[in-house]
Chains A and B, each alone.
Chain A
Amino acid sequence: MYLLNREQRHAVNYTWMIVSLLMVAFLPFLLFFGLYLKSVLILHDYSLTDLIFSRIWKPSSGKFGFYPFIVGSVWVTLVAMLITAPVCLLTSIYVTQYTKKFFLRIMHPAIDILAGIPSVVYGLWGILVIVPFISRYLGPWMGVKTMGYSILAASFVLSIMIIPFILNILIEVFRSIPMELKEATLSLGATEWQTIKHVLIKKALPGIIAAFGFGLARAFGETMAVLMVVGNVVRLPKSLFDPGYTLPALIANNYGEMLSIPKYDSALMFAALLLLAVSLFFNLVMHFFIVRFNKY
């Protein structure tokens, strides 16, 4: 029935497993090393601080300043987090502490759908709904003249996109806190909100920080949706209604011409390396918060 006998089949399967495992385990190092090799060229000619803090971006005359892009990325990410963080925290507390079990069963498919919608569709939605809203209503109402394509639009779209990631982790975190803790506090006469404020949140703090950190890392690397609504203007944004430019958008917009200008491809690979480093750093730090949360 089989071509090989039992021991041989075991050997084949075992080798297959080990080879796959090695491939996967080396992937992060391979990614880092590959991008590093590509960006060596530009790191050789310019110092790291020069690249990061210089403000002028003119690839054709050999000026590669990433500062506007980094500032744009940081702005977009932070504002998105400011919108998402309270919404996710409040919702996760509400669905785990106040509502019946069946509500979670409605919540989960909703989260799944939000997580499943592709980023291009989020971008399209941003163009259809958020950008006109900002240029027609929010901008004039605040007394600002704006195109709509702005840091704020990108932040808003982004804040919706990262809801599923953060909310999923937060719900897990709050659900894993033992019921006894809550019951003990309630039996001592604390109100429900006091219990949440003084006991649950304190207990869940490392988990909450980790959830926000993971969300932040996601937001920082998000490409297409941001690219479509942020405006793509290389300039330091002065207000939230100004257009900006982000690191991922820079890479995505210029892949076509990067081979025609010397060192351009190396500069873009350096941008990818920066993104990778930020993502790895955040995930690494947040991992320790999660470990800490699980320990206590």
Chain B
Amino acid sequence: MTRTQKIEEKFFKLLMIVATFFIFAVLAIIIYSIFEKGLKSISWEMLTQIPHGGYYYGKGGGILNAILGSLSLAFGATVLAFIIGLPVALYLNVFLIRHKKVIDVIRFLLDLVWGIPSIVYGAFGFSLMIFFGLQTSLLAGILTVTLFILPIMIRSMDEILRTVPIGLQEAAYSLGSNKSEIAFKIFTRQSISGIITAVLLSFGRGIGDAAAVLFTAGYTDHLPNGLLEPVATLPLSIFFQLSSPVAEVQNRAYASALVLTLIILIVSLFSRGIGKRYHKTKINF
């Protein structure tokens, strides 16, 4: 090795370490600044009350409307996406297993849909809403977010289901099961941990996204009551509070951001834990 080679070697290794450190440092700064700002202004009142009159000028109240609204919206969308998503993922891996080309095309379409920005879903949901004569409502929000998280849900389930060994399927056939029994009774059981992870991942995406619900869910200071009423969401509540000129309201935005981040962190922690927990019911080959 010549000297210049040695220097080059060292230089690029150093550069790589710097880049890796940069990513961790940025993550640490983000987490730190959200917690530092949020913890200062979070209070019990904020979590348990809805905005009172003059809330956006610094008067009392909380963001319970947004917390409950976001949870119900993300929950509804996740359930809907699960009802549509699970059969699609199963169909790909049980019924179409011998048609590689068809599977590839469908996976490709799903990847395309996954890449579409959420604001496009929002705009589409909005025009759909007007077409059907709906108002901004929880229902419209749920439908839009469902479209948005559907590809995420299906592709993550699909990635798990495709690891189920073909031998398991053959064994079930030889015992006389039909295809839908194999799909719903064997594949789901074998991949239950991965399916739960996919559901929680989609939930996290659904609750954190603002652009898709901006047009469709509306905003209200009341608790969500009914599918056809507008509903407040956490990301939008952060956004609105942040654009207020009053310092106190801005501080509440930091606290709301902390709440949202915590919800998402807890959900993602759960999904990691569950992956380990249900490992026992899995048949190992």
Q: A: which residues have CB within 8 A of B?
A: 6, 9-10, 13-14, 16-18, 20-21, 23-25, 27-28, 31, 34-35, 38, 86-88, 90-91, 93-95, 98, 109-110, 112-114, 116-125, 127-129, 160, 163, 167, 191-194, 196, 214, 217-218, 220-224, 228, 248, 251-252, 255, 268-269, 272, 275-276, 279-280, 282-284, 287
Give, as a whole number of angstroms, the nearest-CB distance from A253 to chain B.
10
Given contacts A9-B180, A191-B9, contact A121 B238 (CB under 8 A): yes
Check if B117 sits within 8 Å of A275, measured CB to CB: yes
- A163-B24 Cα distance, complex, nearest whole Å: 11
With most chain B CB atoms within 10 A of its CB, the pick from A24, A34, A217, A276 is A24
- A27-B264 Cα distance, complex, nearest whole Å: 27
- A5-B37 Cα distance, complex, nearest whole Å: 60
- A214-B116 Cα distance, complex, nearest whole Å: 11
Check if B34 sits within 8 Å of A113, measured CB to CB: no
- A191-B18 Cα distance, complex, nearest whole Å: 21
Given contacts A28-B109, A221-B120, contact A17 B91 (CB under 8 A): yes
A-contact bits for B100-118, CB 8 A (1 contact / 0 none):
0000001011111101111
Give, as a whole number of angstroms, the nearest-CB distance from B257 to chain A.
5
Smallest Cβ-Cβ distance to A94: which chain B residue: B16
Interface positions, chain B 14-51, Cβ under 8 Å from A, are 15-20, 22-24, 26-27, 29-31, 33-34, 37
Check if B123 sits within 8 Å of A10, measured CB to CB: no
The answer, among B1, B15, B27, for a CB contact under 8 Å with A90, is: B15
Check if A125 sits within 8 Å of B34, measured CB to CB: yes
Check if A255 sits within 8 Å of B178, measured CB to CB: no
A-B contact pairs, 7 of them (CB 8 A): A20-B91, A90-B19, A114-B23, A120-B257, A224-B235, A269-B127, A276-B120
Is the interface on chain B under 10, 10 to 19, 20 to 34, or 35 or more residues? 35 or more
The answer, among A116, A255, A276, A282, for a CB contact under 8 Å with B265, is: A116
Give, as a whole number of angstroms, the nearest-CB distance from A67 to chain B.
19
Check if A217 sits within 8 Å of B115, measured CB to CB: yes
Chain B residues with Cβ below 8 Å from A24 are 84-85, 88, 106, 109-110, 113, 150-151, 154
Check if B13 sits within 8 Å of A193, measured CB to CB: yes
B55 adjacent to chain A (CB < 8 Å): no
Check if A112 sits within 8 Å of B268, measured CB to CB: yes
Give, as a whole number of angstroms, the nearest-CB distance from B272 to chain A.
8
Interface positions, chain B 241-255, Cβ under 8 Å from A, are 242, 253-254
A-contact bits for B227-269, CB 8 A (1 contact / 0 none):
0000000010011001000000000011001001100110010
Chain A residues with Cβ below 8 Å from B119 are 221, 223, 248, 251-252, 272, 275
The answer, among A21, A86, A192, A269, for a CB contact under 8 Å with B19, is: A86
Given contacts A129-B33, A193-B13, A279-B120, contact A14 B180 (CB under 8 A): yes
Chain A residues with Cβ below 8 Å from B84 are 20, 23-24
Chain B residues with Cβ below 8 Å from A31 are 113, 116, 120-121, 124
Chain B residues with Cβ below 8 Å from A9 are 180
Minimum-distance CB pairs A-B, first 5: A221-B117, A118-B208, A94-B16, A272-B123, A90-B19
Q: A90-B20, A119-B208, A283-B115 are in contact. List 5 more A-B contacts (CB 8 A).
A: A24-B110, A91-B19, A110-B23, A120-B235, A120-B239
Given contacts A25-B106, A248-B211, A280-B116, contact A117 B264 (CB under 8 A): yes
Given contacts A24-B84, A118-B208, A223-B117, contact A124 B242 (CB under 8 A): yes
Chain A residues with Cβ below 8 Å from B180 are 9-10, 13-14, 17
Smallest Cβ-Cβ distance to B95: which chain A residue: A17
The answer, among B15, B117, B184, for a CB contact under 8 Å with A222, is: B117
Check if A119 sits within 8 Å of B209, measured CB to CB: yes
Check if B19 sits within 8 Å of A113, measured CB to CB: no
